[in-house]
Structure formats: structure tokens, C-alpha cells
Structure 1
Amino acid sequence: MSKNRVTSCFLMLSATLVASVNVFASPTLLVPVDVSLGFSERKDSLNWNIAGSTVNILSELEWNQLQIKQIQANATLHLPQHLNLAIDIQRGSIHSGENTDSDYDGNNRTLPFSRAKSRGGGDVNDWSIGIGKEIKVIETASITPSVGWSQHQQNLTMTQGFQIIPEDEPYYGAFGGLNNRYEAKWSGLWLGIASQFTLAQQWTLSTDLKYHRVDYAADANWNLRREFMHPLSFEHHAKGAGVEAAVAVSYPMSTHTKLQFLMQYQKWQTSTGQDNTYFVAGTTSTYVLNQVNWHSQSYGLVLIYGF
């Protein structure tokens, strides 16, 4: 995602939230709304591997140290009977990272016959909608059980390839033309529990924990593999689950404005799934998708305005 696209996304998110405020925070509806905009630094990793007919791990792809600059927006509507409806949107651009592509002739990652390193890039997109009921525990603390739906995308690329195995000429070394893509999507329901504590000197501590059950789907284009179809070389499908945890501290800057420091951690994993690989000859091969793993952590600053 280019810098212009990040700016465009930020303006789009701002316009969407302003429109929401105009609708829901009007004097006739009298629905309080909190709107937030923020920036964060995020680091992700994602890996997957498939089994072959004679080996338990035939091919493995690993994206590591994906450094992401992310913008995020939220609108929370405070409805009657202490119900809160929240919409979250996040967009990020990967500005650095690495990929390792390994193939094996033996079980348990033994007898590697091919390994290449490349630059990892791309972008990430996340959105979530949920509704919860705030329950006052004591005067200075509350909890909010909630339920919702979310979708998380990683649009990953591989460029600037360097072959490590085999180590012999002419294979070893840099090779041109690499422009692989792998686009992953985690979609499904979540259950959550949030808490909020009012501390001394008007500070507020908030926590948020969500458990996700998702469908995982991905498609890829391996552009240098002449035997594969293009632009769809293979697809992945699996069931998965994820845990998302966040901690934030907020301080009021004015009657309506708060500044928040937010930290977030996510861990996602699929069960055994299916890989369908498509060949130019018109045939399709099916492999076992052993597992997909995605880890993410971020920290950032958020400006919250209450209407």
C-alpha cells in the first residue's frame, strides 16, 4: 500500500465516521457516540505448510518481521439499556519484512532441496462490528460482555528473491522477476469481554479479550512457476480460531476528548485444511494443508472524541 493509499484510507475512514456522527448524534436521536482515530506500529508473522504424498511437510512458507504502519478508526454508539454498538476499521501498509520458502524431501523438515529468501510486503485490512451490554460492577469499574463478527486480511507479497538451496551454480544467488502474492482472509464470529476501571487523577484503564471462530480462505499466484495456472495458482481452505487481547490507558484532555495509549496482541491458528493447486495442463492436485499460524502485536496512540 503506497503512502497515497494510506492517506486516502485515512480520509475515507474519517469521512465515514463523521457521517455516522451526523446521523446518530443528532439532537433528535440523542444517542451518544464516541469516535476515535489513531495510528499504530504493528508487527506480524504468518506461516503455513502443506504435506506431500510421501512427506509430512513438503512445502513451507514463512513471513516474518512484517513491520506495519497502521491507521485505525472506531465508532461506538451508546444505546439505551447500557448497550454499546461498536464498529472498528484498521488499514495498514507493510514497509519491511522477509519471507522464507522451503521444500523438503524428508519428513519433519529434513532433506531440504529448495530454499529461497525474499522481501515480504503487502498490506493488511481488518474490520469488526459487535454489540455488548455494559454492567456496572462497582462505582469505578464495569464489564461489557459482547458478541460480533470480524474479518482480517493479509495481502502478502514476495519480491527480490535469493536462492539459498541448492548452493551450486547456476541456482544459488539472486534471481529476478519474482512477484508472488498470497492473500489470506480470516472471517467469523467472536465472543468478548471488556472491562474498564477509573483510576486516580482521571486516568482510565481498559482491557478487551475476544475469542474468534473463523473460516480461513486464501488464494495465491506463484508467478515464476510455469506449470501453475495464473493468476490463481492455488487456494487454501480451513477452519480456525483466534485470541485477541488489548490493554489501554486513557487520560481526558478536555470535556469531550481523551488521549489513549493502546497495546494489542493476537494469536490465530487453523486446524488441518485443504490445498488445491491448479496446473496449466488443466489438472488439479489436492494436498493437506497442515496448519496456518498468524501472530500480531501492535502499540499506538488514539484520539477519542465523545459527542
Structure 2
Amino acid sequence: MGVTFLAGYSYHEQNLRISEGFQAIPASGPFSGLNSTYQTEWKGPWLGFELEGWVKKYQGFVRLEYHWADYYAEADWNLRDDFAHPVSFTHEADARGLVFGAGGNYQVHPDWLVGLNFDLQNWETGLGLDRTYFSDGSTIDTQLNVSKWRSWAANLAATYRFW
């Protein structure tokens, strides 16, 4: 069993496109022309640790990371004529993230391992700045309450060891 302390800097980006609009309230149904975007960045330093153990040819590990992040987002709401384009509003806030990983590997050769890994991520901002840009050139600043990002991943891995 071994413990490894980890430190780093991470950068995560999301590029979302919103299309195929459907208005539910009031119930007027689908509408055309929706092609809005929302792009986010979560970046900053992190600390963590990994516990690793071997039983014969099997390796297992768990990893935990804590992230301090700067959050920034830009959006273009293309159907709003009163908003500026291509940037209709921006968001800025301090954020925190927690990443948990676990997995296992099997040693198929002295230098090769194959495995399966799982990651769970939970990110959230504190209060921040929501700046709206209008088509007449004016802006208004309001409070950004919160932005959240939760995700998971499952990965197949092949690892070659050089030592």
C-alpha cells in the first residue's frame, strides 16, 4: 500500500450550444432559429492524494483532489435582439471543485497494465458577477448566485511502464 501526495494546476473548458428550442410556458411548442452558446472555464491550483495497493497482478487505487478555481463564462443568446452579440453576458466567480477517482489495473505483462477507472467531479461557484451587454452598448452588473458542474467518466486504460 502506498500514498502519493499530488499537486497541480487544472484547466477545464465547456463549449455548449443550445438549439432546437421548445417553449413550454406558455405552451407554444417548438421554435426555430435558436443557436445560442455558453462557454465556461474553470481553472486553478489543486492538491490531492492517491492511495494505491497491489495484490499479485492486480492494482487498485483511490484518488481525491480539491481544486481552487477561477470561473469565467461567456454566452451569446442569439434570439435576443436587445442583447449584444457575440457576447451577451459574462460570468465571473471564485469556485471550488472536488474530484474523486477510483480504479483498478491488471498486469498483463511486466511492462503493460490494462484497467478501468472512474471519476466523479463536483464543482460550484460562490457568489460572483453577472454582466449583461446590451445592443445599445450599455451594460448592467448583477449578482451571479451560483454555477454548478457535476460530471462522471468511465475510462478504459492501457499503461506502459518504462521502469
Secondary structure at 2:119 match in 1: strand
Counterpart of 1:157, as a letter, is: R
Alignment of 1:57-136 (within 5 A): none
1:253 aligns with 2:108: yes
AA of the residue aligned to 2:107: P
Per-residue deviation at 1:222? 0.5
C-alpha offsets along residues 156-202 of structure 1, whole Å, 9 cap, x if unaligned? 111000111123xxxx1110010110001100000011111012x31
Distance (whole Å) between structure 2 residues aligned to residue 190 and residue 235 of structure 1: 25
- Is 1:175 the counterpart of 2:31? The answer is yes
Q: Give 1:208 deviation, angstroms.
A: 0.9
* Alpha-carbon distance in 1 for matches of 2:160, 2:129: 45
* Residue aligning to 2:45: 189
Q: Does 1:152 align with 2:12?
A: yes
Letter in 2 for 1:197: G
- Aligned counterpart for 1:243 among listed residues 95, 98, 106: 98
Tell me by how many angstroms 1:238 deviates: 0.2
**Deviation sequence 1:212-238 (CA, Å, 0-9, x none):** 000000001101111111101100000
Q: Distance in 1 between matches of 2:144 and 2:71?
A: 11
Q: Distance in 2 between matches of 1:193 and 1:203?
A: 20
Amino acid at match of 1:280: S
Among 293, 298, 302, the residue aligned to 2:153: 298
Could you tell me how far 1:288 is from its partner in structure 2?
0.8
Cα RMSD of the aligned pairs, angstroms, is: 0.8
Letter in 2 for 1:179: N
Choose from 161, 184, 187 the match for 2:21: 161
C-alpha separation in 1, matches of 2:110 and 2:50: 23
| Aligned twin of 1:45 | none
The separation in 2 between residues aligned to 1:166 and 1:227, in whole angstroms, is 21
Q: How far apart are the structure 2 equivalents of 1:306 and 1:203? A: 15
* Count of residue pairs brought into register by the alignment: 162
Q: TM-score, normalised by structure 1?
A: 0.52
Amino acid in the other structure paired with 1:160: E
Relative to total residues, which structure has the larger strand share, 1 or 2? 2
Look up the equivalent residue of 1:263 and give its one-letter code.
Answer: F
CA distance in 2, matches of 1:147, 1:246: 15
Task: Using the TM superposition, give the Cα deviation of residue 242 of structure 1 relative to its aligned residue in structure 2, in angstroms.
Answer: 0.5
Return the letter of the residue paired with 1:185: E
Partner residue of 1:287?
142
Q: Work out the percentage of aligned pairs sharing the same amino acid.
A: 37
Secondary structure, counterpart of 2:145 in structure 1: strand
Which amino acid in the other structure matches residue 291 of structure 1? V
* Aligned-partner SS, 2:37: strand
Counterpart among 54, 65, 69 of residue 198 in structure 1: 54
Q: For 1:178 and 1:253, locate their aligned partners in 2 and report how far apart those are by CA, in whole Å.
A: 51
SS at match of 1:291: coil
1:267 Cα offset (Å): 0.5
